[in-house]
């Protein structure tokens, strides 16, 4: 499925840092803010531009290829030259993340690239909202209104109580089942469960190896595959008060995001959305936003018990609605009136 995604040039993502830094921030400023071990070396490429050779560009080409910005036909030919195809990858990346489009590796762009993220490839977005995988796959309409999930007996973490992990996932699943007519039920039978969850180390047999601390945090496959994998090298946390690590990653936030993929959502470029591809360490982002809900309901329909009111109030109060198309406002107002009536 990942190969299929790459070949269609689709992809995904997660990061909160670039808007915090002006385009010319000096490198030292953001090393402290983005402790991503995996992609740390990219900091040396700041201000690299077209037509020259820079040590490390070949690694960044691999990165862009992995996440859907360079086509398959350049595989195996990654040089350190900042060539035309690499420049267009940089431009597409900048457009996708709402960065200033310079075609150069300015500080804001490199900061975004270095941010911890989901391992699922990004889609080239035509509009800044939710997206689906190629072909818009979803779980079968007639076969399921309850999907089962199970944890791998052999691939769990040992520094956290299994009951706490199960409870975090139960809460994550319930956020999605609250808005669509699909229920989730935990099963003891891993082999027959629809959704299979586990923590994996490095190369684990699905051609999407994990990369150690930060970098790629997790990945999941599109419907009806059901695999949801988390990088065992991360310092997973459920309560940051109990984990002092600077690189602790919130399990429930990542679980909620990856379940979105399992159900058929690709990455959204709405920064507040759960389906945004990057997530900073020690950050909790578990509540579905309007963008997430619109996306998943367009795929599965709406849960009749679900009402928009509280969510709209919360999105408005958090300022998330700023910049949304006025026509959408009208839609929401009509819905609010409908609910009140």
Catalytic residues: 258
Let me know: does 162 contact 188? Beta carbons within 8 Å. no
Residue nearer to Zn ion on the CB measure, 61 or 196:
196
Is 294 known as a binding-site position? no
Is 309 known as a binding-site position? no
Least distance from Zn ion to the Cβ atom of residue 313, Å: 28
Let me know: does 217 contact 280? Beta carbons within 8 Å. no
Distances (CA, A) of 274 to 20, 110, 211, 258, 265: 20, 23, 23, 9, 10
Residue nearer to Zn ion on the CB measure, 106 or 291:
291
**Tokens 């086509």 found at:** 71
Helix axes 290-300, 309-317, angle to 10 degrees: 150
Task: Please tell me the distance from the alpha carbon of residue 251 to that of residue 186, in angstroms, as a whole number.
Answer: 17
Is 219 known as a binding-site position? yes
Residue nearer to Zn ion on the CB measure, 65 or 229:
229
In terms of Cα–Cα distance, which of 118, 99, 117, 119 is closest to 109?
A: 99
Rounded to the nearest 10°, the torsion over CA 276, 280, 286, 290 is -30
Least distance from Zn ion to the Cβ atom of residue 151, Å: 15
Measured between its terminal Cα atoms, the distance across the chain in Å is 45
Q: Does 206 bind Zn ion (CB under 5 A)?
A: yes
Q: Does 229 bind Zn ion (CB under 5 A)?
A: yes
Is 206 known as a binding-site position? yes
Q: Which stretch, 7-15, 33-41, 103-111, 172-180, contacts Zn ion (CB under 5 A)?
A: 7-15
Q: Does 228 bind Zn ion (CB under 5 A)?
A: no
Phi, psi torsion values for 21, nearest 5 degrees: -125, 135
Least distance from Zn ion to the Cβ atom of residue 230, Å: 9
- Residue 159 CA, chain-centre distance (Å), reads 25
Of the CA atoms within 13 Å of residue 67, those in its CB half-sphere come to: 25
Least distance from Zn ion to the Cβ atom of residue 68, Å: 12
Report residue 303 as tokens: 């849960």
Determine which residue in the list 6, 12, 184, 300 makes contact with Zn ion, applying CB under 5 A.
12
Task: Please tell me the distance from the alpha carbon of residue 271 to that of residue 275, in angstroms, as a whole number.
Answer: 9
Q: Does 221 bind Zn ion (CB under 5 A)?
A: no
Let me know: does 306 contact 191? Beta carbons within 8 Å. no
Residue nearer to Zn ion on the CB measure, 1 or 90:
1
Residue nearer to Zn ion on the CB measure, 59 or 211:
211
Is 239 known as a binding-site position? no
Stretch 87-116 residues interacting with Zn ion (CB under 5 A): none
Q: Which stretch, 45-53, 175-183, 201-209, 240-248, contacts Zn ion (CB under 5 A)?
A: 201-209
Task: Please tell me the distance from the alpha carbon of residue 276 to that of residue 38, in angstroms, as a whole number.
Answer: 20
Stretch 154-183 residues interacting with Zn ion (CB under 5 A): none
Q: Does 83 bind Zn ion (CB under 5 A)?
A: no
Q: Does 65 bind Zn ion (CB under 5 A)?
A: no
Q: Does 120 bind Zn ion (CB under 5 A)?
A: yes
Q: What is the DSSP letter of 190?
A: G
Q: Does 254 bind Zn ion (CB under 5 A)?
A: no
Least distance from Zn ion to the Cβ atom of residue 87, Å: 26
Hey, which residues does 196 pair with through a beta bridge?
A: 150, 227
Residue nearer to Zn ion on the CB measure, 70 or 123:
123
Report residue 120 as tokens: 């699922």
Least distance from Zn ion to the Cβ atom of residue 198, Å: 8
Binding positions for Ca(2+): 194, 211-212, 231, 234
Binding positions for Zn(2+): 118, 204, 206, 219, 229, 257, 261, 267, 275
Residues contributing to the site for Zn ion (CB under 5 A): 12, 118, 120, 206, 229
């Amino acid at each position: 499925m990942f190969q299929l995604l790459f070949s269609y040039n689709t992809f995904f993502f997660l990061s909160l840092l670039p808007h915090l830094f002006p385009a010319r921030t000096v490198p030292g400023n953001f090393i402290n803010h983005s402790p991503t071990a995996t992609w740390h070396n990219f900091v040396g490429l700041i201000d690299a531009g077209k037509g020259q050779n820079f040590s490390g560009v070949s690694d960044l080409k691999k990165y862009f290829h992995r996440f859907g910005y360079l086509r398959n036909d350049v595989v195996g030919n990654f040089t350190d030259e900042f060539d035309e195809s690499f420049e267009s990858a940089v431009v597409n990346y900048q457009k996708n993340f709402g960065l200033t489009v310079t075609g150069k590796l300015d500080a804001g762009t490199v900061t975004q690239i270095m941010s911890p993220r989901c391992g699922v490839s990004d889609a080239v977005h035509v509009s800044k909202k939710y997206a689906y995988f190629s072909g818009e796959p979803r779980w079968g309409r007639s076969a399921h209104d309850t999907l089962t999930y199970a944890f791998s007996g052999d691939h769990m973490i040992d520094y956290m109580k299994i009951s706490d992990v199960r409870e975090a996932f139960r809460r994550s699943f319930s956020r999605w089942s609250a808005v669509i007519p699909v229920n989730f039920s935990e099963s003891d039978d891993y082999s027959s469960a629809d959704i299979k969850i586990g923590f994996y180390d490095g190369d684990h047999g699905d051609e999407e190896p994990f990369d150690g601390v930060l970098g790629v945090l997790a990945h999941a496959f599109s419907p009806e595959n059901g695999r949801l994998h988390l990088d065992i090298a991360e310092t997973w946390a459920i309560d940051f008060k109990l984990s002092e690590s600077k690189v602790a990653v919130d399990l429930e936030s990542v679980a909620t995001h990856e379940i979105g993929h399992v159900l058929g959502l690709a990455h959204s470029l709405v920064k507040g959305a759960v389906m945004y591809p990057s997530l900073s360490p020690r950050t909790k982002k578990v509540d579905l936003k309007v963008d997430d809900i619109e996306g998943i309901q367009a795929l599965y329909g709406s849960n009749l018990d679900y009402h928009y009111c509280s969510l709209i109030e919360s999105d408005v109060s958090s300022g998330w609605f700023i910049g949304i198309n006025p026509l959408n406002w009208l839609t929401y107002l009509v819905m609010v009136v409908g609910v009140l009536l």
